Structure 1
Amino acid sequence: MLWSLSLCKLSFVFLMMSSLTSLFFGMYFLTTNMVIFIEWELFQLNSSNVVMTFLFDWMSLMFMSFVMYISGLVIYYSNEYMSGDMLINRFIILVLMFVLSMMFLIISPNLISILLGWDGLGLVSYCLVIYYQNVKSYSAGMLTALSNRIGDVALLMAIAWMLNFGSWNYIYYLDFAKSTMEGMFIGILVVLAAMTKSAQIPFSSWLPAAMAAPTPVSALVHSSTLVTAGVYLLIRFNNLIVDEGVGQFLLLISGLTMFMAGLGANFEFDLKKIIALSTLSQLGLMMSILSMGFPKLAFFHLLTHALFKALLFMCAGAVIHNMKNSQDIRFMGNLCSQMPLTTICFNVSNLALCGMPFLAGFYSKDLILEVVTMSYLNILSFFLYFFSTGLTVCYSLRLVYYSMTGEFNSTSFHPLNDEGWVMLKGMMGLMFMAVIGGCMLSWMLFTSPEMICLPLPLKMLALLVSVIGALVGYELSKFSLSYELKSFTHYMKISFFGSMWFMPFISTYGLNKSPLVLGGFMLKSIDQGWSEEFGGQMIYKEATTQSQMVQWWQNNSLKVHLLLFTLWVIILVSFIL
């Protein structure tokens, strides 16, 4: 136990120092527009160099700084949250491996080393999702791993296509590849890989399932590591996806993901799943603004979202910890008088998520919505953007009303307190950044002040949909009992919207038997049937026949055969005549 505590503290100190160093270098690189490209030769084989490449620019350094800051505080928080675990050191090492994989992905300008980090994230996330060993965790882990394998295969195919350019350092070829067929294929494959990792439709079902992991892992996964890997990859590959139809397709898919997740969260009662669906909604927002050609805005929202989402999960973890592992928000209530400090952190992060002015989320979300308003955009995408913003406020306020206010709905002898000082310190560290992080990043990333001039109704539209969303969230929370009764009268509609449009069922039960039966049929009829008949077996039979004929000719005199053939022709002609 002593060693595990020292490992926690050591990891925390190291990550904090690394984060500060990375932040200072990132600010310096941003102001001087400097980039460092490092090539490290691992070994030489038959005059071929195997080289590891690293790219340090302001974007990779800033992102690394935020990832290390959040992971450091999550490890510090885990010290108390996971104190009942006998093998806490194993947990800490797994989290550090997770962070290391993310570092590989961030600083790689090379598709091979990106695959190293990409697969590392997939494998370690599987280990962390099944950390609490039960059937539900195993199923969730398998769904997570298999969904991400689709993206891994797409990335491997992109690596194969990159061979057409002569190197895997994609960073050199982006402008040139934009006008080539290979570039288009690579763009499509990278978008597919990013859609699986960032859980866009139809790969969304793994993200709420991954809530089976311990809460500190959820705080890390859903803020700055696993799910943001796809967004970060598309920020790097942005040139390839903007001009083609790929960008329009991604805009539609991510807009629908945003809408679907926001709608689903309003019907959910599991605390962690509500926050997971809000992550999915924000990922849809990042992907959609990215597909419109604003990578810097997507990166800005990526960083601000990481801060308040990690805090939101850590507050949820503290509540679940105190509620003795109950996650149902209907059993909570009046937590603001029982756990005031946790409630403050929870409300700050929730308001930042809603885009409350002058908190972290406001600077990025408001800017994104104003840029969307200025852009040439169809009515469907415009509706999805603003309606989803209203839904975000709606489920956030509903969550606050259910858990923080009203009457306490659990047993009367339930012990609730704010005494987990280690957890609280971890949450305070993130709350500080959730308040000031947005304006700090805004000043750093957008150095020259720019004014977005819009008509008053459009300028106020984001605020209007937020207020309407808040009112609807309040109404939803008021009639909790009657809402349950009403849901029986509209059961199919409620179950459709509340279960992410039946996607988890299709991803699990739907893929359970029918594709395996179909696969067996195809194996017998095509692989071992017609493809053998017209493929390998037919070639074998034809080759054997031709070979025997050639052998027969070789074993006999050609002159004799010609003589016999001539005689045969003469006899045949004489008979005819």
Structure 2
Amino acid sequence: MNNLKYSICFISFLFLFLMSMLNFFFMVYFIMNNMIILMEWEIISFNSISIIMSILLDWMSLLFMMFVFLISSVVIYYSKSYMSSELNLNRFIILVLLFVFSMMLLIISPNIISILLGWDGLGLVSYCLVIYYQNLKSYNAGMLTALSNRIGDVFILMVIAWMMNYGSWNYIFYLELMNNDWEMNLISSMIILAAMTKSAQIPFSSWLPAAMAAPTPVSALVHSSTLVTAGVYLLIRFNMMLLDTFFLKLLLLLSGLTMFMAGISANYEFDLKKIIALSTLSQLGLMMSILSMGLPDLAFFHLLTHAMFKALLFMCAGVIIHMMNNIQDIRFMGGISLFIPLTSLCMNISNMALCGIPFLAGFYSKDLILEMVSFSNLNLMVFFLYYISTGLTMFYTFRLVMNLMINDYNLLSIYNLYDEDYVMLKSMFVLLFMSVVSGSFLSWMIFSYPYMIYLPFNLKMMVIYVSLIGGFMGYLISNMNIYSMNKFMKTYNLSNFLCLMWFMPNLSTYGLSYYFLSFGQNLLKNIDLGWSELYSGWGMMKIMKKYSLFYNIFQMNNFKIYLFSFILWMIILLMLMMSI
């Protein structure tokens, strides 16, 4: 039975890895020959109704599929060791495969109906994976995830209804043709709102850190290339239609604020997985904001490079959590580079790629994005949001590295760590290679011309300035108790505001449900458990119980009461006789 469990895992890994390689060769061929293939398959035709399944294959969809297949294959191989104690490993693998299949459906669809199938599939399977450990915390997180994503599903359904005006749901035909149409502006605003829910932009951000209740391999898959990137990918596809709309300008502001808010919250967080989740939120804000500036190719480029090092970062976190006896608090960690050097190597390189250290994957996309921001004629607020958020990325990354690698070891001194899980290490080394190489390889492949952006010296060096300041601040904070600092500066309320993601989880969960639940509680207390209960079953039971207790006292203590009443009567008689 055990062999069957692992054989399904290995077959899934092999199939996905081969599909990834196949997609890679196709993608190179498509780019070289500038090809696009649109396939249509008529599923059913009845009178004048025809249901058609369409598939769009171009360099973008093939490249994205290659990355999704590669990361999911490595994650499944990693799960073989990480989930080894799981009795129903096959169920877990099937859920992950369903997740990948839903993403495939979304990537290759030029049709809004089949996009909805993939979109809804992602929402449903993500719920099943978030509640996988089946405790109260994961159920709450699963409901928050599913209901937040449900808002986006509703917007997609409304888009389907509005696109009936055009006679077909193949949106790619209308992107340029119907650009200034009133209905298309309405559709584009709904698409932006749907993408905001899936990619967790303000005000829908609270579900992303909550989704950390899922097993770590799932987090690696969700936060790199599947669920959260679905919204970004949809906007990249719809980008031609969205340009110059009011909602895109609003998205620029909201995504910039998301990036800023996630960066600040990550500096107040102590849960290892939540810090990495908030860094994902920050990078999603970066993708969304560059997308709303009208640069979809750059957003796609960062989406792919980010997928590699973020999946690796989660895998390293998973190994560390396993080693640390399932403790996720970074205050208990420290000095782990001495005990698990290979995992620490992967962790540090993925962290450096996240910060945009030159010549790693993140540098090629992040540096280009920030230079394009400096090059554009946007206002000062957007400029500062980009650069401060970049500094904050360095801030929380350095804090994480200091707490994990450099500071003293804080767990039980007798506990021993080991770095010999070769299944996990092999899967991590694949992504380590990609985290180093994928940036340069993609920049040479996607952009058909060498880019050179001329800027003044200080503006060109701005990225390095903010990174150095952020790193220095991270070093200082990691050696300082942030709460004692709050006590000294009397900033408790401010720190609560920053720590709790600007109170967004409270607003989106308790804020929405509190009044309904308290009203229901009052109804229950005053009506169901109030007068209707008092004058029926509960009231009668109370009276009967009272009398039965009274009789019980008589029956249990009858001899004592008899003697006491006899003495009482004697005293009364004596008193009467004396009075006579």
Q: Structure 2 length normalisation: TM-score?
A: 0.88
Partner of 1:421: 422
- Superimposed CA distance per residue, residues 71-106 of structure 1 (whole angstroms, 9 cap, x where no aligned partner): 000000000000000001100000000000000000
1:238: which partner in 2?
A: 239
Q: Distance in 1 between matches of 2:356 and 2:433?
A: 16
1:575 corresponds in structure 2 to none
Report SS of the residue matched to 2:176.
Answer: helix
Aligned to 1:401: 402
1:171: Cα distance to partner?
A: 0.3
Letter in 2 for 1:140: A
What does 1:302-341 align with in structure 2 at a 5 Å threshold? 302-341=303-342
User: 3-state SS of the aligned residue for 1:175?
Assistant: coil
Alignment of 1:479-498 (within 5 A): 479-480=480-481, 483-488=482-487, 489-498=490-499
Provide the rounded CA distance (Å) in 2 between the counterparts of 1:245 and 1:515.
34
Q: Retained in 1: the 8 A contact 2:334–2:408? A: yes
Q: Distance in 1 between matches of 2:204 and 2:64?
A: 25
* Residue pairs, 1:147-166, within 5 angstroms: 147-166=148-167
Structure 2 unaligned residues grouped into runs of 5+: 522-580
Indicate how the Cα distance of structure 1 residues 370 and 515 shifts in structure 2: closer, same or farther if over 3 A, else same. Answer: farther
Match of 2:371 in 1: 370
- Deviations, residues 436-459 of structure 1 (Å, cap 9, x unaligned): 010000100112112111110000
Query: Normalising to structure 1: TM-score of the pair?
Result: 0.89
**Counterpart contact for 1:37–1:53, Cα < 8 Å:** yes
**Which 10-residue stretch deviates more, 44-53 or 493-502?**
44-53
Q: Which amino acid aligns with 1:380?
A: M
| Separation in 2, partners of 1:512, 1:246 | 28
Contact kept, 8 Å, 2:102 with 2:119, in 1: the verdict is: yes
Segment of structure 1 superposing worse, 80-89 or 28-37: 28-37
**Partner amino acid, structure 1, of 2:431:** L
- The CA distance in 2 between the partners of 1:334 and 1:371, in whole Å, is 39
Alpha-carbon contact 1:39-1:53 (below 8 Å) kept: yes
CA contact (8 A) 1:177 1:184 kept: no
Q: How does 1:248-263 map to 2 (within 5 A)?
A: 248-263=249-264
Query: Residue 485 of structure 1: CA displacement?
Result: 2.0
1:492-507 correspondence runs (5 A): 492-507=493-508
Query: Per the alignment, in what secondary structure is the counterpart of residue 143 of structure 2?
Result: helix
Q: How does 1:435-450 map to 2 (within 5 A)?
A: 435-450=436-451
Shift of 1:202: 0.3
The reply on whether 1:70 has 2:71 as its aligned counterpart is yes
SS in 2 for 1:510: helix
Q: Which residue of 2 aligns with 1:222?
A: 223
Partner of 2:531: none
Given that 2:192 and 2:248 are in contact with CA atoms closer than 8 Å, whether structure 1 keeps it comes out as no
Q: Distance in 2 between matches of 1:284 and 1:13?
A: 34
The separation in 1 between residues aligned to 2:187 and 2:82, in whole angstroms, is 43
d(CA) in 1 for partners of 2:36, 2:273: 39
Q: Tell me the amino acid that sits aligned with residue 68 of structure 2.
A: V
The amino acid across from 2:171 in the alignment is Y
* Alignment root-mean-square deviation, CA: 1.4
Structure 2: how far apart are the matches of 1:397 and 1:419? 26
Distance (Å, rounded) in 2 between the aligned partners of 1:286 and 1:406: 33
Match of 1:128 in 2: 129
Higher mean Cα deviation, 101-110 or 40-49?
40-49
What is the CA–CA distance in structure 1 between the aligned matches of 2:235 and 2:103, rounded to whole Å? 15
One-letter code aligned to 1:485: S
In 1, distance between residues paired with 2:491 and 2:85?
Answer: 43
* Structure 1 Cα separation of the partners of residues 294 and 48 of structure 2: 41
Match of 2:283 in 1: 282
Change (3 A) 1:9 1:387: same
Distance 2:244 2:22 in 1: 37
Number of aligned pairs?
519
Mark the CA change 1:186 to 1:330 in structure 2 (over 3 Å): closer, same or farther: same
Query: 3-state SS of the aligned residue for 2:44?
Result: strand
Matched residue SS, 2:43: strand
One-letter amino acid matched to 1:407: D
Is 1:331–1:408's contact at 8 Å kept on the other side of the alignment? yes
Q: Which residue of 2 aligns with 1:353?
A: 354
Q: Tell me the alpha carbon deviations over residues 11-55 of structure 1, each in whole angstroms, 9 at most, x when there is no partner.
A: 111011000110111111112110000111112222422110000
3-state SS of paired residue (2:513): coil
Could you tell me which residue of structure 1 aligns to residue 412 of structure 2?
Answer: 411
Alignment partners' CA distance in 2, 1:40 and 1:287: 33
| 2:151–2:197 Cα contact (<8 Å) kept | yes
Percent identity at matched positions? 63
Is 1:175 equivalent to 2:188 in the alignment? Answer: no
Matched, 1:296 2:297: yes
How far apart, in 1, do the equivalents of 2:118 and 2:179 lie? 25
Per the alignment, residue 453 of structure 1 pairs with: 454
What secondary structure is seen at the aligned counterpart in 1 of 2:224?
Answer: coil
Which moves more between the two structures, 41-50 or 57-66? 41-50
User: How far apart, in 1, do the equivalents of 2:486 and 2:78 lie?
Assistant: 38
Q: Distance in 1 between matches of 2:84 and 2:416?
A: 18
Letter in 1 for 2:64: F
Judge conservation of contact 1:8–1:92 (CA < 8 Å) in 2: yes
Aligned residue for 1:333, secondary structure, equals coil
Partner Cα separation in structure 1 for residue 491 and residue 236 of structure 2: 42
One-letter amino acid of the structure 1 residue matched with residue 109 of structure 2 = S
Name the aligned partner's letter for residue 487 of structure 1. Answer: N
Displacement of 1:518 after TM fit? Answer: 9.0
Q: What secondary structure, in the 3-state scheme, does the structure 2 residue paired with 1:432 have?
A: helix
Cα distance in 1 between the residues matched to 2:270 and 2:183: 46
Deviations 1:241-271 (A, max 9, x none): 2211111100000000000000000000000
* Contact 1:259 1:384 (C-alpha < 8 Å) held by counterparts: yes
2:389 and 2:434 map into 1 onto residues whose CA distance is 25
- Cα drift, residue 515 of structure 1: 5.2
Code of the residue aligned with 2:407 in structure 1: it is G
Cα offset, 1:516, TM superposition: 6.6
Q: Secondary structure at the match of 1:92?
A: helix
Please give the alpha-carbon distance, in whole angstroms, between the structure 1 residues aligned to 2:455 and 2:325.
50
- Residues 140 and 210 in structure 1, CA contact (< 8 A), matched pair in contact too: yes
Contact 2:252–2:289 (8 Å) recurs in 1: yes
Question: What's 1:380 paired with?
Answer: 381
Counterparts of 1:41 and 1:230, CA distance in 2: 27
Task: Give yes or no for the alignment of 1:96 onto 2:97.
Answer: yes
Q: Provide the rounded CA distance (Å) in 1 between the counterparts of 2:247 and 2:63.
A: 28
Q: Distance in 2 between matches of 1:478 and 1:406?
A: 8
CA distance in 1, matches of 2:460, 2:484: 39
SS in 2 for 1:37: strand
| Residue 43 to residue 519, structure 1, CA distance change in 2 (3 Å) | farther
1:145 counterpart letter in structure 2: A
Change (3 A) 1:519 1:33: farther
Residue 279 of structure 2 aligns to which amino acid in structure 1? S
Q: Secondary structure at the match of 1:51?
A: strand
Conserved 8 A contact 2:359-2:440: yes
